[in-house]
Amino acid sequence: MADVKKSKTNVAARQEAKSATQLCRFCGKKVEVVMTLTSSGRKQMLRRCCGAVV
Ligand SMILES: [Zn+2]
């Protein structure tokens, strides 16, 4: 497909964006990452700060 090259770069860009979004959207500090289990037993990463999930 013609989108293969594009999506590869998008993955890299997305990972960069992911690591850049570890800051709280309210106070701008590093957020606390907590692992929780969903009701269906799956692991879930939650970023918490300022008393909310950010
Ligand atoms: Zn915060």
The CA 47 to ligand 1 mean position distance, Å, reads: 10
Instruction: Collect all residues with Cβ–Cβ distance below 8 Å to 38 and sequence separation of at least 6.
Output: 44
The per-residue pLDDT for range 20-29, each reduced to its tens digit, is 567 898 999 9
2-11 pLDDT tens trace:
666 767 788 8
What is the predicted pLDDT for the residue at 10?
86
Q: Where are the domains of the chain?
A: 23-54
Burial of 31 (0-12, 13-18, 19+ CB in 10 A): buried
Distance 4 CA to ligand 1 centre (A): 37
- How close is the Cα of 33 to the center of ligand 1, in Å? 12
3 Cα: distance to centroid of ligand 1 (angstroms): 38
Q: Kind and range of the H or E element at 24?
A: none
Predicted confidence at residue 38, as pLDDT, reads 93
Question: What is residue 12's predicted lDDT score, i.e. its pLDDT?
Answer: 82
23: burial class by Cβ within 10 Å (0-12, 13-18, 19+)? middle
Give the residue among 50, 47, 53 at the shortest CA–CA distance from 20: 47
Higher pLDDT, 42 or 54: 42
Neighbours of ion ligand 1 (CB under 5 A): 24, 26-27, 49-50
Mean pLDDT of the chain: 82
